[in-house]
Amino acid sequence: MGNDLWETPKPFFDGVEDYFGDMDIDLAANFQNRKVNKYFDEKDNSLKMDWNSYNMGWLNPPYSKPSIWLDKVNDEILKSKDLEVFMLLPMTFESNYYHNSVFNKPELVNTIYLINGRLSYLDENKKKVGSPRFGSCLIHFKRDFNREIISFGKCDREFKSVKLI
């Protein structure tokens, strides 16, 4: 299983839900790595689905194609005043996709949480596969046309110690 299918560690996901509330859809998953009961898998093709009927979406997308997922999140957030998406991404801020789809979108991006330490992802057997060569961050997307700046926060690997910076 390539790292496009690595599962988010349960303590991190549980911490996010404890802080923000329950997610009602996992937007890029399979049966083995889903975080909630309702999920879109590769067959469903989340990139072609309408996300408007959901309030809180979890998204740990394939890291090989972050820009298409960021474009989809931006499109869906623009369409819905109620949808919030929590997206786990590599912390590679020098990448064009961050500049094009995150940093230039304060009306869509609420907060970027920098994770202290590297997450240990899981394989299809729920075994730790190690950490990627880069850190990760959690981006909270929520539409607000009055927002002019993006907030930054920091958190630990279980999303228990959370502070805005």
For 63-91, the pLDDT digits (tens) are: 888 999 999 999 999 999 899 999 999 99
- What does the alpha-carbon distance between residue 12 and residue 80 come to, in Å, rounded to a whole number? 26
- Of 70, 122, 127, nearest to 100 by C-alpha is 70
Domain boundaries, position 60 = 3-164
Which CATH number is 84's domain given?
3.40.50.150
Calculated CA dihedral for residues 157, 134, 78, 14, nearest 10 degrees: -20
Tell me the one-letter amino acid at 147: R
Per run of 10 residues, the mean pLDDT along the chain (length 165 residues) is 70 94 96 94 96 96 91 96 94 91 93 90 74 86 91 90 88
Domain count across the chain: 1
